[in-house]
Each structure stands twice: as structure tokens, then as C-alpha cells.
Structure 1
Amino acid sequence: MDANTFAGLHLTYPDVSMAVWAPSMAAVHGDRAAVVDGDRSCSYLELDERSAQFAGGLVAAGVQAGDVVLLHLGNGIEFFVAYYGSLRAGATVTLVNPLQPEPGLRRQIEETSAVVAVTQPPQLGTLRAAAAGTTVGTVVLVGGSPGDTGVGVIGFERFLEGRQTVFAPVQVRGDDVAHVAFTGGTTGISKGVRVLHRNVVANVTQMCGWRAGQAVVSTDGGLVDLRPIPDLDVYGVTPGVGCTIVVSPLFHAHALINASFLLLCGVTQVMAGRFDPARMLELIERHRASYVTGSPAMWHTLATHPDAARRDTTSVRVVASGAAPIDRVTLEALSVAFPQARVTEGYGLTEATCVVTAAPLGVGTAYRLGSVGLPVFDTEVQIRAQDDPATELAAGERGALWVRGPQVTGGYLGHPEITAQQFVDGWLDTGDIAYRDSDGYLYICDRAKDMLIYKGYNVYPRELEEILATHPAVSTAAVIGRGAGAVGEEPVAFVVAVPGVAVDAAELMAFVAQQVLPYKKIREVVVIDALPTSAAGKVLKTDLRAILQEAVAH
């Protein structure tokens, strides 16, 4: 089987909404464990019943189709119950980092007009302050003691108490909004993306085909089920078998869409809590995990941890990386840490629901180091000239990446001008710089906003970061631009040293200079303890720029 087998296939997408997901999964997988959270476990049938009760609670609270429920939660069983329950009630879900400070949280509440919020005791105070005087009328509290509740606050179990365990999903259309998913805000003010039900169904369907070889089909009862795709042999997920260790935050699209795909395939979700490499490796061994997914920063720490050499990781078939580009050194370390796994990198963005491209997992296909794979089923990509979007570039030429497919979302909430700029005739301007090779494999060079211009030349930080990561003294690295007057911006590297190893800044700059053209040379090296990252694992270059600005000010 070659890559053309994947590229030539087209899928049929069921005409359903995400409101049918929980009952569909229960019909297929029954008493199998859906979620394991510490010493607690929730079967697919229990997830169906409890999400039905949550939907009933929302309806009793006056929530109508299209109203917004804000999930202000960390990972856990209740997250899944509230998420699928909200969709069953016809509500739109908006997801938020539970550590979001009050001003940003209030802005998200005001922009979405959320009417119900689900939270936990540590962040209840922040939520109540942010929600004061807004549309939020009910707060559902997960965990905590009765003393934590107050006016408008109800405990999670009490919210479900006495509700029917069967709930007919509220009828919503494919063009109705399932998620208002806020972008990470790493380059500016965070914006809410209108992710439609048909976008989520399509992206989950694409992943079931791409990584499990399964088609998602409608049943006579209005639910969905899986059927093998003929002649597609995938070394990946086997339906009804194995588990995944969940460490990425479910409020991020990368983890959430993965969860809906894996749950439909019957892959148990084991909650790992806060990322700890030793604990994650122990969970992989104990539960015989078959599929693990995460971000490059996480993989680097995991693959280089001493326990990686002594834990039995042979059950893992797929190691999937997303949320940001992964460096070559980490990829090679992963192949050693997980000897029976296919290491696959993918590319996606919130504006396209989640996944756009991924390395094919077909038996006989080869992974291409540095590539984020091929466009998933029914997805087109074009590389266009940055100064002329009407001009499509040839293979090997770098330019602006545009995407078209059923997962491309409905644009930004409350930002028609920006939506019109980025969403054009069914195509999405991703804001990324990329190129394709002669076989159609995609390579991400950089964010368009991260690209530097020095003396009229384009400098791509990603290229420099790749080189820095190969130096034996460097653990991780990020490159940003610093104003250099009339010549534009010059590259500055922030590096984290390998434990116990000293970084010689001059030697490191010379190391890079030997491998690049003169205009790409690193002009300064800043050694820091850790790179600042978002919850999704993306390096926060805005924070690095702030460090530079502060240094200049002093």
C-alpha cells in the first residue's frame, strides 16, 4: 500500500450532529470502560446515561438549542459527561483553560453569552468574579464540599440527581455551532472560532478512516457506527482494543477531537492528570496503552527520561504528535522509546476544527522525517505566493498555506472582517508558511507572523530551531526576531540546556553559523530554565518577546 491509496479515497459523512455521539458509542461498546480517572471508571453505558442526565439538567435550567455552556474544567470523567451532555441538549460548548485569569474569562463569557458554566472548586472564585453581571445564570460545581456552593451554584451530582438516563437528542442541524473554540491567542487577542456540528463530525470521521481504517456510517436508529473501509490496511487503532493515556488538556481541540475519534473506536481514555514523564510511562506500561498523543514539548521530556529505557512500552502502536512542529532529535528519540510504534506527525489548527494533514499509517507506507504528512480524506491544500494569493506555487516552493475541506469552520464569532480575509470561497488562509514535495507531502516552515525579514531576506525561525536542537548542549530552543533598525529583524535564540551541561553562547552561535547563510545567523543566545508554553504545548513567543523588551528597557 502506498500513499496514493490514502490520497485517492473519498469518504461519506453521516448527516448527523454530535448530539448522537454518546448514545452511539454506548450502542457499540456497552460495558467497556470509556474513561478511567484514577481509581474511578466510567463505562460507555454510564457515559451515555450520565450525559443524558446532564442534558436533562440543562433543559430543566432553561437552556435552549443554541445557548452556550462554558466548560471551565480540567480533564476528568465529568468533562466528558458535561461535553456530550451539552451537545445532546442542543447547546453550544465553549471551552476554556481553567487557569484563565479573570479578565480573559470574562471576555469569553461576554463574547459567547454563555448561560451555564461548569467549574471546579479551585477556580470557582475566579469564575464567579468573571461571571458577575453577565448572562451566566447557573454554575455547576464538580467536586468540593456543600460549603463551596452559593447563589446560582449547584453541585454536579445534584444537577444530575433524579434526571432520566434516556434523553432524546435535541434536533440540531449540521450548520449549527457545536463549539465556540477560542484560538490560543499566542500572537494577539484570542478569537472564538465557530466550529459547526458538521465540521466536528467530518473531522472525527476523517480520523477514524485515517488512523483506524474505519468508516463512520449512519444506522437505522439515527445513530452512527463503524465499518471497515475496504482495501485500507492501517497500522494504527484497532476498534474495541487498547487505551490511550490522556495528558493533553481536553479544552484544546487537539485532545478533544482525538477523544471523540478514539472513544468511537472503543479506545479507553486513561486520565494522567498533570504531565509527569515518569507517571505517564508507568501508566503506559500498566494499562498496556496502544495509542498516545501529545505535543512536541511533552514528547521531548518523555523520550529522554531515564524511565523510557526500563519501562515496557511495546504495547504502543501509534505515537501521534500535534499542536506544534516536532524537531528531528525528538522524533528519533521517540522511535527508540517506543520500538513497536509508528511515530506520526500531523498538522492542524482550530480554524479547521483540528486535523488537516497527517502521516499515513497504512501498512507499507513510510514516515517522512520533517513532514506533517498528507492531506486527510477530502482535504485540499494549496501553497500560494505570499504577495499574490491568486498564484499557486510549484512543489518545493515556500508560500502561504491554504486549506479546503469539510472540517474548515464557519469563521470567527463577532469578527466578520477577519473572517472575510481568512475564509475565502471555501478556502482557509492558515497563516502558516509551507511547501509540498513532489509526492504531495506537506512541510511546515513557520508561522507567517513568526517569519523575520532581515536585509530583505526571509528568515524562518523553524529552520534555526531545528539546527539548535541538534547541538549536544541544547535540550529545547525557540527563535524570535529582535528589531534591528533599517535592516529589519535579527534572530535571537532562547535555549534550555541539557541538565548538567553548560551552554557556551558564542560556540552555539558559531555552530549555527556554520550551517546557514550569513543573513540567518543567530545574533544572541539567551539561556533560560524552560520555554514558556501554552496548555496545548505551543511555545509562547509573545512571552519571549516580552523578555527581550524588558531586557532592553533595563
Structure 2
Amino acid sequence: MNRYWPEGMPTSLDYPDLAAGELLTAAARLYGDRLAVVDGAEQLTFAELHQQAVAFAHGVRDAGVRDGDVVLLHQPNSLWFLVTYYGALLAGATVVPANPLQPAPGLRSQLLDTGAVLAVSHPAHLATLLDAREGTGVRTVVVVPPTATAPCAKLPPAHDGVVPLADFAADGAGAPPRTAVAGDDTAHIIYTGGTTGVPKGVRVLHRNVIANVAQMTAWRAAHLITAGESGEIRLRPLSGPHDQRVHPGAAVTLMVSPLFHVHALVNMSFLLLCGTTVVLTGRFSPENLLAAVEHHRATYLLGSPTMWHALVDSPDVHTRDLSSVRVISSGGAPADKATLLALQAVFPQALVVEGYGLTEGTCVVTSAPLRSDAPRKLGSVGLPLCDTTLEIRSTTGDGALCGPHEVGELWVRGPQVTAGYLNQPEASAEQFVEGWLRTGDLGYTDEEGFVFLSGRAKEMLIYKGYNVYPRELEDILRSHRGVRAAAVVGSPDARVGQKPTAFVVARTGAVIDPDELMAYVAERVVPYKRIRAVHVVDSLPLSAAGKVLKSALRVPSTTGQEG
């Protein structure tokens, strides 16, 4: 066993053969009248959330949806997202969370690709869904009411075939519908972010969700998921010393990240199973979020580097009481060292931990332990979770294993590795190989097994025959006092291959001199890694999950002299 493995943490876990919807059933039984979700003035206890989900599940079955049929969720974060998500799972359906802001053509493609038969939308986005469903198999559209965090100034007129949620779920009560859904059935079809290509639908099985939630519960809450005599989920504390940061039945989190993305979706199931009160915050602003931390005494913050950059730059960090926060969990994209250090200064009572995951791995693959006595290395995304094997393989195609500090491609094997891509056998065969997931991410491990990321394989630059990894240059750029955000891409050049080119966003009040910034980087890298051009921009294009869309930053090829 790795000597840095957390004391008392098992290397292997037991995973009950249960459907993902049973996670909410277990939370309702364990926490009952505790507050589960807060959406402005509206709130639901765990028991009430479960009752609402069960009512929706019966409506889904009454609408003719059967085990494995697809229900598409086309709505922003609100308490109704939780109700309809868990309700669809309890009905035995496969759930497709969709970005409500995507245009109708992309949404129609997902409806056709998945064969969805029922869709749930929000008044502000209903028109797009109605446009997209033409020519698809969607028979029923349910529209949820607006809430404080998902408002709608003008409600749409009535449409044929569109049923208000209150009418759709009016007759549901009692126990969830009886289904035959089991671990090897598909729980989610989650579309990848599409930052490097066309989005693909990832088939996430119920057993993948249960396994990843069990891994997170052990790693971050020091509890094991077990099955009782009747098959119900139970939590059992780990033995041994634990500096527990997530206390089941006592934590509070602010949900900012979009729930249609796996980072928030699967973390939500983990947090609810641990009895965490989920406070929905609506459209992100650093000032509103910091005020909500103080008001709700939040203990657990989940987010991406884009959110952290805005928070640490806000003047409100000096005036708000942020002492309640015990955990800062960063994911969705790599965080730079400067931002991680700034977060630790802003939230001195918190453990700031970074993890690594991807849609094809359900959610989380590696993470730093949530214990102050466990070794953590700045810039590392931690260790592979229980039952997870991670290998660094050469990018030359020979499959050779890389040694410590040698950059290669990350390959992952574990119970959270999903079942491949929907309707794309060739892509599945390329990425899912004999139980292994080829991630497409580059990185290395050190002598103790800690994992460090270098970037995406498709983003690696080749300058005069040398490999250049954008992540390293981006970290250096963001350490400059005037830079708030940065992205590095390759500018094609016939003479040298690809010239490292930076796009940077200035901090408030700062003025960036491109020549000075290039010199700043040059002092910190070997010559072939130097930035050759700097473009100062107002903002970087981001996906809904907060990842930089580097395809939108590509610059034209040149044939002139190198910079």
C-alpha cells in the first residue's frame, strides 16, 4: 500500500447492487425532516423532496414511460431539477440532462440520438424545446414552475401536449413505482463538453453512479455505504482516526455549478446521501455567493477555477465572515497554484482540495484526501480513489508505462469507468479498451503516486520538435500579478510547428504589457517553452462547466519567421 494512503481508508469497497434513485430514498429515511434543498423562499426537507420525486415518478409511469426509456431534463438549476431528476430515476427511466441554453439544432440532435420520449423544461426555455422536438419521439413535455433561482418574467402561453408539473404529478403518492432496473442498466446519458470535438453521449450505468458515490463518501466523509437486510442503503463510519470535514446530517453546500454537468450532478448525490443541505444560488456572482456563504453558514463549496478566480478577486472576501467553510473542492478543470494558495488565504478554516475526473469516469477518478493530517501536494489532483488504478502510458503508441515525472497519457480502470458512447461503436472502441479508459489527458505521477495534470493530449504543442504543455505555461501566466485568467494554444507555423500563444484576461485595474509578460514567462522556462505572442482579451470563451473552449481561440497559421 502507498505509504501516503490515508490511515484507516480501505483500498477496496463493497458496492450494493442498487439503482441510483435509491440514493434519495436512503437520504429521506436517514435525515427525514432535515432541510434538503433551499431555493429562495422555497425549501424541501429530505422527506418532502422524496415525496415530490415519487409523485413525479408515478406521473412518468402514467405517461407510458417504461424501464430504460429516456427522459430529457431541459432546465436550469432549481429545486425542481432535483425533484424531476430523482423522480425519473425512481420511475426506471434513463435521464439525459441537457444544457437549457443550447440552440434547438443541438438539442434536437440529442433528442434523436437518445430516442427520448418525455422531456421536462422550464418556462424560460420551453420555446427552444418545442422547436427542437419536432420530428422526434418526444410524446410528452412537462414544464416546471419558475423559482427564485430560475425565474421567468413572462410565462409562455399554453401549448398542446405541454403539461404543468403540478398537474402531471398530481396523483402520485406513497412508495416509488416498482421497476426492474438494476446496476447494469443505464442511469444517465451525459453529453461531453465538446471542447475538442463534437459532443458524445456517455452511457453511465447505475452501478457506476453507486460506485462513484460510495468512493466519494468514503474518501470525503469517512463513511462506508452498505446494504441492510432489506437491501436499503446504510452509512457506517470508518474505523480509525479521521479529521472529518463532511459530517453526515450537518453539512451545508452552495450549488453553483450546473446540475446538467456530471461534476455537480454526481456530487449532489454524494452530498445528499450525507445529509447535506443544498442551497441553490442561481446566476453566479462572487458578491452574492460570498453573502450566501455568510448567511447560510456554508461548510462545503464545490466549484471550478473560473469561479475561484472571481471569488478571490472580489473585495467582499475581506468583509464577509467565511469561517464556516471547512472544504473547498475544486474540479471540472485544472486549478493553478496561485489560485489554490489564494483560496487557502481567503478560507483559512478550510481544506482546499483538488480532484480529477471526467464524464467517461462518471465523475471523480482522483482526489486529495479530506484530512488535514494527510499529505497533500500543491498542484496535484491527489491519489486514485479506492478500487481505482491509474497508469501513465507513453504517447508514442507502444503502450509503455512512464516512470515518475515522465509525462504520458492517463489510463484509468475502476468501477466508475462507464459503458462507452451511445451509438458510437468506433469512438467507444478507441477510448474504452479491455476495461481501461483512455482519458486523452496528459500528466505524470511522482514517486509517491500523486497525480499531476499537464493538459489534454489534443492540446499539446510541438515547437521545433519539442513537446510543450499548455498547463505549465498557464500556471506561470496566472502567477503574474496582473493576470486573472489565461489560456495557451498553438499558433501553426510552417517553420517551427506550433508557436505557444497566450490569451490573457487582466485583473481589475491592471494593465498588461505583452512584451513584459512574455519576458516574465521566459525567465521561468527553458527557451523552447517561451510564449511567442500574447493577446489581451476581455474574457475567455467558456463551456457551461467552466472549461476554456480553446477551439475558439485558435489563431491563423503563418509562414513567417518565428516570434
Settle same-fold status: TM greater than 0.5.
yes
Aligned match of 1:188: 197
Which of 17, 38, 42 is matched with 1:40 structurally? 42
Letter in 2 for 1:159: F
TM-score (norm 2): 0.95
Letter in 2 for 1:341: A
Q: 1:493 to 1:458 in 2, by over 3 A?
A: same
Which of 165, 170, 175 is matched with 1:161 structurally? 170
Contact 2:9-2:218 at 8 Å conserved across structures: no
1:445 Cα offset (Å): 0.6
Q: Give the unaligned 5+ runs of structure 2.
A: 147-153
Query: What is the DSSP-based 3-state SS (H/G/I as helix, E as strand, rest coil) of the residue aligned with 1:368?
Result: coil
Q: Does 1:416 align with 2:425?
A: yes
Contact 1:15-1:174 at 8 Å conserved across structures: yes
Q: Does 1:361 align with 2:363?
A: no
1:542 Cα offset (Å): 1.2
Aligned residue pairs total 550
Q: Separation in 2 of the partners of 1:235 and 1:408? A: 27
Q: Does 1:261 align with 2:263?
A: no
Q: Does 1:503 align with 2:512?
A: yes
Aligned-residue Cα RMSD (Å) equals: 1.6
1:285-304 → structure 2 map (5 Å cutoff) = 285-304=294-313
Q: Separation in 2 of the partners of 1:486 and 1:6? A: 56
Q: Does 1:491 align with 2:500?
A: yes
1:349-428 → structure 2 map (5 Å cutoff) = 349-428=358-437
1:532 Cα offset (Å): 1.3
Q: 1:15 to 1:487 in 2, by over 3 A?
A: same
Aligned match of 1:324: 333
Which has more helix, going by share of residues? 1
Q: Separation in 2 of the partners of 1:538 and 1:444? A: 15
Q: Separation in 2 of the partners of 1:100 and 1:550? A: 30
1:8 Cα offset (Å): 5.3
Which of 30, 33, 52 is matched with 1:31 structurally? 33
1:304 Cα offset (Å): 2.0
Contact 1:232-1:362 at 8 Å conserved across structures: no
Runs of 4+ in 1 over 6 A off after TM superposition: none
1:388 Cα offset (Å): 3.0
Q: Separation in 2 of the partners of 1:301 and 1:224? A: 39
Q: 1:106 to 1:377 in 2, by over 3 A?
A: same
Letter in 2 for 1:456: G
Contact 1:235-1:317 at 8 Å conserved across structures: no
Contact 1:359-1:374 at 8 Å conserved across structures: yes
1:520 Cα offset (Å): 1.2
Contact 2:405-2:445 at 8 Å conserved across structures: yes
Contact 1:6-1:360 at 8 Å conserved across structures: no
1:164 Cα offset (Å): 1.8
Q: Deviations over 1:115-135 (max 9, x none)?
A: 111111111111111101100
Q: Deviations over 1:159-200 (max 9, x none)?
A: 111222422441212110000000000111000000000000
Q: 1:8 to 1:162 in 2, by over 3 A?
A: closer
1:7 Cα offset (Å): 6.9
Query: What is the DSSP-based 3-state SS (H/G/I as helix, E as strand, rest coil) of the residue aligned with 2:11?
Result: coil
Query: What is the DSSP-based 3-state SS (H/G/I as helix, E as strand, rest coil) of the residue aligned with 1:18?
Result: coil
Contact 1:2-1:362 at 8 Å conserved across structures: no
1:146 Cα offset (Å): 7.7
1:389 Cα offset (Å): 4.6
1:79-228 → structure 2 map (5 Å cutoff) = 79-143=81-145, 148-228=157-237
% of aligned pairs identical? Answer: 52
Contact 2:59-2:171 at 8 Å conserved across structures: no
Q: Separation in 2 of the partners of 1:351 and 1:185? A: 13
Q: Separation in 2 of the partners of 1:320 and 1:173? A: 31
Contact 1:6-1:377 at 8 Å conserved across structures: no
1:55 Cα offset (Å): 0.6
Q: 1:153 to 1:442 in 2, by over 3 A?
A: same
Q: Separation in 2 of the partners of 1:113 and 1:158? A: 25
1:206 Cα offset (Å): 0.4
Letter in 1 for 2:37: V
Q: Give the unaligned 5+ runs of structure 1.
A: none
Q: Deviations over 1:6-61 (max 9, x none)?
A: 77521111111113122211100001111000111011111111111111001110
1:501 Cα offset (Å): 1.3
Q: Deviations over 1:47-105 (max 9, x none)?
A: 11111111100111000100000000111111011000101111000011110111111
Query: What is the DSSP-based 3-state SS (H/G/I as helix, E as strand, rest coil) of the residue aligned with 2:26?
Result: helix
Contact 2:89-2:95 at 8 Å conserved across structures: yes
1:239 Cα offset (Å): 0.5
Q: 1:2 to 1:383 in 2, by over 3 A?
A: closer
Letter in 1 for 2:158: T
Q: Does 1:441 align with 2:443?
A: no
Q: Separation in 2 of the partners of 1:460 and 1:91? A: 42
1:54-93 → structure 2 map (5 Å cutoff) = 54-93=56-95
Q: Separation in 2 of the partners of 1:133 and 1:319? A: 45
Which of 236, 251, 259 is matched with 1:242 structurally? 251
1:400-549 → structure 2 map (5 Å cutoff) = 400-545=409-554, 548-549=555-556
Contact 1:2-1:364 at 8 Å conserved across structures: no
